[in-house]
Structure 1
């Protein structure tokens, strides 16, 4: 009777659960804050049996986790840093998955006149000229790196800015909360902004400059770092992330009717055949 009960218990667990394997992936706070992970992870597990454990950090920290071999893959959004990661041998390759854009958020009253700016550099120049409070993530994330590059393009050295410039050293959600509490300007990825629940008096004031394009890419960690790197699962996950199934879920994810991400991966032959 004991053997029959055990056999029945094993059968009742189901093949997918018995097959479930874990892998670790470092992802940006902006990706996590968007809510897309909550849509994708259950479907990944259902389709592949892979239980993806997320380490939610900024891009800079995600890359460091990959360099140390503490994760099996990373999903980040800072192309120059990603290419350096691969060139240094920490990752096997870089695969574009999806994109959205960065936007400039600020108080509805818009004291700096950001709404009337012609481009992103003009929007930041207006904030600097008005010395209006601006919250920076200040955490070496992909968003922070992009923000600094935009200040540079505007001819402004953020490191020598006055008290109006407020780096908080925090993720996207926490930085948005700070900006909301201060009625300050901030740069955010569109997905995090749309999914942010504490908008207060803040509004999306500027978007549309091509320089605000925001690409997310998947980078498997080099298995040469140790036989504990689950490169087989990372490869299987990449196949799923570049499939028609992933495309439908990513393109179909919306908040208040607005699409948050656009899938732009070069799909695998298997995925193309499934179309």
Structure 2
């Protein structure tokens, strides 16, 4: 699995608001300290030398967005971010085992299960893009321009056109399985035309490009790799006025310190706070690849969605 490790920074840029995550402390007498990692008085962070472990989906890593977000966070806080990139299911499983401090994923059902089981707390909406169905340019299933996802998938099944699945319990794989089910189709009954690729999004796009056929991809990874691929978008998501069911929201969840008391909870909350702040959201909105915007910030709103904090099916403020 790809791992990104950065060195602990020797200094930090600017002061830090203690209310952001409760993990910044000034000196007792309000004076500066030589070992605070870039002393600027009582506002200097007192967490230099710590490391935050983030488990996240491959799309945020492969597109390079995390390079931008983590560099800004590390500069502000004077800490290192260790990023483990894999499918959403595996990212959450590492968090369940206490092997990460915070997760950034994109499968709300799996996130809800993670929270319902007590492993995750303080979930926040972060950003969104959408899913698209991409495939070879000759489009043997004739689905190009379809505005009905169910009809497009039914055409793929009827023509038995090669379809390469992530097959890895990732957020994209979870969405794909949901879409087949909504179309009234059962994956377990598919023939050899349905291929279990079992890899990250970049790998699956490359595999589809090599052998032909179709796949479901997040728009960001496809746009980032488009110059390397002989594939086209045949079914658009809502970013380009396609079906709303292809929306692809990302969330941040801190690992519950009551379950795993060794996790860097204060630092996880600082990370969540930074990425959902105006500065973090601006980095997301301004990030492009090959001239294309890949993600759309979704954390700040004059009318906040308070359902983001708890599993969607919870109707009240207290757990049954």
Normalised by the length of structure 1, the TM-score is: 0.88
281, 296, 301: which one pairs with 1:247? 281
Q: Does 1:201 align with 2:235?
A: no
User: Higher mean Cα deviation, 250-259 or 164-173?
Assistant: 250-259
The alignment partner of 1:224 has SS state of coil
**What residue in structure 2 maps to residue 72 of structure 1?**
101
- Following TM superposition, the consecutive aligned residue runs of length 4 or more in structure 1 with deviations greater than 6 angstroms are none
Matching residue of 1:169: 198
1:225 to 237, 245, 259: 259
Q: Residue 94 of structure 1: CA displacement?
A: 1.5
Aligned mates of 2:99, 2:301 — CA distance in 1: 28
| CA distance in structure 1 between the aligned counterparts of 2:260 and 2:281, rounded to whole angstroms | 32
How far residue 142 of structure 1 moved from its aligned partner, in angstroms, is: 0.6
Q: In the alignment, is the contact (CA less than 8 A) between 2:123 and 2:252 conserved in 1?
A: yes
SS in 2 for 1:148: helix
Give the total of aligned pairs: 258
Any stretches of 5+ residues in structure 1 without a counterpart?
A: 1-9, 269-275
Deviations 1:69-95 (A, max 9, x none): 110010001101111111111011321
The 3-state SS of whatever aligns with 1:114 is coil
Structure 1 Cα separation of the partners of residues 227 and 166 of structure 2? 17
Matched-pair contact (CA < 8 Å) for 1:17–1:49: no
- The match for 2:317 is none
Contact kept, 8 Å, 1:252 with 1:259, in 2: the verdict is yes
**Aligned match of 1:126 in 124, 147, 155?**
155
Out of 246, 258, 266, the position equivalent to 2:292 is 258
1:50 to partner: Cα distance = 2.7
Determine if contact 1:86/1:93 at 8 Å carries over to the other structure.
no
CA distance in 1, matches of 2:226, 2:113: 35
Evaluate the alpha carbon distance shift between residue 110 and residue 18 of structure 1 in structure 2; reply closer, same or farther with a 3 A threshold.
Answer: same
Q: Distance in 2 between matches of 1:17 and 1:132?
A: 57
Q: Residue 84 of structure 1 aligns with which residue? A: 113
Q: Relative to structure 1, is the Cα distance of residues 166 and 227 closer, same or farther in structure 2, using a 3 angstrom cutoff?
A: same
Cα distance in 2 for residues equivalent to 1:101 and 1:232? 31
Displacement of 1:183 after TM fit?
1.5
Q: TM-score, normalised by structure 2?
A: 0.76
Q: Deviations over 1:228-271 (max 9, x none)?
A: 11001001111101111111110001123321111111479xxx
Checking the alignment, whether the CA contact within 8 Å between 2:146 and 2:234 is kept in structure 1 is no
Alpha-carbon distance between aligned partners in 1 of 2:164 and 2:227, rounded to the nearest angstrom: 15
Given that 2:69 and 2:275 are in contact with CA atoms closer than 8 Å, whether structure 1 keeps it comes out as no
- What does residue 24 of structure 1 align with? 53
Paired residues of 1:242 and 1:267 also in contact (CA < 8 A): no
Return the offset for 1:199.
3.9
Match of 1:48 in 2: 77
Q: For 1:159, what is the secondary structure of its paired residue?
A: helix
1:111 to 140, 152, 169: 140
- Give the superposition deviation at 1:20: 4.0
Q: Deviations over 1:52-77 (max 9, x none)?
A: 11111111111111111110010001
CA distance in 1, matches of 2:75, 2:46: 9
Match of 2:175 in 1: 146
What is the aligned partner in structure 1 of residue 250 from structure 2? 216
Query: Bigger CA drift: 198-207 or 111-120?
Result: 198-207
Q: Over aligned residue pairs, what C-alpha RMSD do you find?
A: 2.0
